[in-house]
Copies of this chain bind each other. A is one copy, B any other.
Amino acid sequence: MSWNQQLGKKFNKELILKEIFLHSDISRGDIIKETGLKKATVANLVNELIDENLILESGEEASTGGRRSKKLKFNEKAGFALGVDIGVNYIYGVVVNLRGEIIFEDVQTIHSAAFETYFERIISLIHLLMNKVPPCPYQIVGLGMAIPGIIDTGGNVLDAPNLQWKNIELKRMLEEIFQFPIYISNEANAGAYAEFTFTQNKEANNLLYLSVGIGLGVGIIINGKIYQGNNGYSGENGHTILNLNGKTCTCGRKGCWEAYASEHAALKEAENLINETSLTLEQLVQYADENNEKIRKLFQEIGFYIGIGITNLIHTFNPEKIIIGNSMTKAQRYVELALLETIEANTYPAHFETVSVEFSSLRGQAIAIGAATFIIDQFIELSSS
């Protein structure tokens, strides 16, 4: 609420740490230029960060006519975080260092099962991950878990329709078993945070991450922070209506975006088109690779609908960047062109020219990494105090 000197110090220390995180091999002098802090302040705080093992001195820069500067590096091996991405038919877990780089990963397929079975499998995966953490000053700094559903601010899963989970106190249940901090997030928010933190050096402060998987959700980064709304239910854009009286959605209403632009929509439509059942998205992509015109046209349509929804997002948020992730990235080469053409045709030039729309480069790993990143951020805020 109010301010005091300790908070100010913490703020500056974090500022310096972030600077070093983003620009490896930066010198103390560079930090002075970037932050506007004075010599002595930077020297003091840098030395404290070294004492805390959060950064390292790593060799010296070439001289520019005087004493050589020492290079500073973020010590990404000071601790490790666990990230788990719960999918409809898989559990994907990672161990990442403090820079979000994966040092171990494991994926387990799971077929529609009761929550109890799911939970047991999750716990055993976490134990597996814990055993892969190397010795280091801070050990396991925490666990982040991403769920395709609505999560409230207390870490409770209110509704995850595709998993058929309802009202589960997931955070509390995990905290009873594990000693480290735990953060439960929505799948799209985790993806958004990973993209924001680990690509393009955080240049875009207003970023949207479009998770197009079985369902469709949006992760919203505003002013460099995740926006979760009043109770954590924001970004449910899969259920915004863009075609009144259109196709019926799984939610029972008509014309939702998700009913037109999602893996679920693609599979359902494809089953009608080519008269096959229990298709997968991978199969559809393969059919398209084999020049199946019906499937190629289907992907173009999906691209069109994703594009229309994105124009709505652009008119709402005027974002710097929109990143498309989750399973639909597998069909990137068949949806991308239609998608971009649709956006260009439906936005003002002033809007279109200032936004970049890209597919995620982190691919399937984004969500687990993002989940872990929430915990890494919490750790960094706590430790540099």
Contact = CB atoms under 8 A, between A and B. Distances in A.
Contact of A230 (B3, B12, B354): B354
A268 interface: no
**Residue with the highest number of chain B CB atoms closer than 10 Å, among A158, A206, A225:** A206
A333 interface: no
Contacts of A236: 315-316, 318, 351
A71 interface: no
Contact of A4 (B8, B242, B320): B8
B233 A318 contact: yes
Nearest to A304: B244
Interface in A212-260: 218, 222-223, 225, 227-237, 239-244, 246, 253, 255
B228 A318 contact: yes
Contacts of A2: 11-12, 15, 35-37
B3 A241 contact: no
Given A243-B243, A308-B244, A318 B229 contact: yes
Contacts of A12: 2-3
Given A3-B12, A11-B3, A318 B234 contact: yes
A241 B308 contact: yes
A35 B1 CA distance: 6
A119 interface: no
Interface in A327-351: 346, 348, 350-351
Interface in A1-45: 1-5, 7-8, 11-12, 15, 35-37
Q: Which 10 A-B pairs have the closest CB atoms?
A: A229-B318, A240-B312, A233-B318, A234-B318, A236-B315, A243-B244, A3-B8, A230-B320, A2-B35, A3-B11
Interface of A: 1-5, 7-8, 11-12, 15, 35-37, 150, 158-159, 206, 218, 222-223, 225, 227-237, 239-244, 246, 253, 255, 308, 311-312, 315-320, 346, 348, 350-351, 354-355
8 contacts: A1-B35, A2-B11, A159-B348, A222-B223, A230-B320, A232-B318, A239-B315, A241-B242
